């Protein structure tokens, strides 16, 4: 077990060149900071095995390990949150990533102790195998799959609902059977829809013509976030089955995508009152 002593390390950070990444991994637990170094404020604390997407090796070194920019799902709000963690407190599913502590055990999933997932002690120590599909779409990122789907739906003048769970379903089909209780695929797609929703929310705020309307939108969105974060985990809480963890994650995708579509409709009405495809108004 890695001792989490980030806050007490005395060595000064050493700067190097940053490197862009797009790697699925997990945290070994510990503090998430607002910047790459212990001099930055603590933004969050992750439990061991919390799923993260590792976006960038910042090049800021501390005791032989770099700081990485990461994004993870905040359990309280359901939104994607970015921050920074030290490389010695991170692992990757694929392995072979310079600056990370190790390769993640294959049964790790979001905020669940690995020991609760299986009684097979030998299997617990095996790493998660990377997901590889047999087609170009299978190997694309969640962003690319959803973007291409929305563009096709818009061209056909359809509402875009066929794109919901498009990436997660394909990703899960290509995931080895032992890892199908891990919601990593759904977490990736939820991050995409959350980004679309946030963009539409900001756009709607910018076109509303009064403070009263903006306050109404702000309060209704807060109510919606509370509903989502309380309702979607019920599938897992009521049954505690590993596949219901995926069901809960898929719920987050559905309600987030549907809310993004609703916000898009409001943007279209405020910008120019007419009927158009959800994904784009020409």
Give the predicted TM-score (pTM) of the model.
0.50
Residue 268 structure tokens: 């279209």
266 φ, ψ (degrees, to nearest 5): -65, -40
Interatomic CA distance for residues 223 and 27, integer angstroms: 30
Residue 126 structure tokens: 């095996």
In terms of residues, how long is the chain? 282
pLDDT in tens, 133-165: 333 333 457 888 898 899 888 888 888 888 998
H helix runs in 40-129, sequence order = 121-124
pLDDT in tens, 98-112: 899 888 887 774 433
Residue 12 has pLDDT above 90, yes or no: no
181 φ, ψ (degrees, to nearest 5): -85, 0
CB 104 within 8 A of CB 91: yes
C-alpha closest to that of 62 among 11, 18, 113: 11
| Location of structure tokens 């910042």 | 58
Distance of CA 66 to the CA centre of its chain: 22
Average the pLDDT over 12-33 and give the result: 78
What is residue 86's predicted lDDT score, i.e. its pLDDT? 93
pLDDT in tens, 226-242: 888 888 887 767 766 55
């Amino acid at each position: 077990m890695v001792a989490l002593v980030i806050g007490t390390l005395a060595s000064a950070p050493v700067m190097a060149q940053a490197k862009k990444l797009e790697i699925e991994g997990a945290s070994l637990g510990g503090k998430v900071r607002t910047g790459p170094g212990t001099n930055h404020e603590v933004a969050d604390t992750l439990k061991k095995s919390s799923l993260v997407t590792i976006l960038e090796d910042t090049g800021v070194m501390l005791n032989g390990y770099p700081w990485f920019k990461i994004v993870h799902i905040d359990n309280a709000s359901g939104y994607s949150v970015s921050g920074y963690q030290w490389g010695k407190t991170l692992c990757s599913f694929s392995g072979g990533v310079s600056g990370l502590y190790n390769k993640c055990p294959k049964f790790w999933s979001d905020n669940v102790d690995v020991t609760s997932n299986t009684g097979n002690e030998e299997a617990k120590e095996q790493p998660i195998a990377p997901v590889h599909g047999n087609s170009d779409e299978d190997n694309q990122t969640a962003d690319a799959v959803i973007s291409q789907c929305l563009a096709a739906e818009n061209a056909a003048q359809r509402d875009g609902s066929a794109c919901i769970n498009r990436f997660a379903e394909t990703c899960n089909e290509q995931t080895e059977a032992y890892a199908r209780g891990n919601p990593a695929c759904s977490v990736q797609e939820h991050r995409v829809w959350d980004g679309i929703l946030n963009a539409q929310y900001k756009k709607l705020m910018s076109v509303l013509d009064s403070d009263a309307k903006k306050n109404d939108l702000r309060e209704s969105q807060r109510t919606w976030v509370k509903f989502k974060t309380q309702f979607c985990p019920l599938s897992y809480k009521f049954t505690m089955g590993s596949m219901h963890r995926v069901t809960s994650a898929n719920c987050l995708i559905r309600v987030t995508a549907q809310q993004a579509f609703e916000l898009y409709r409001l943007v279209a009405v405020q910008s120019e009152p007419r009927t158009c495809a959800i994904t784009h108004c020409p």
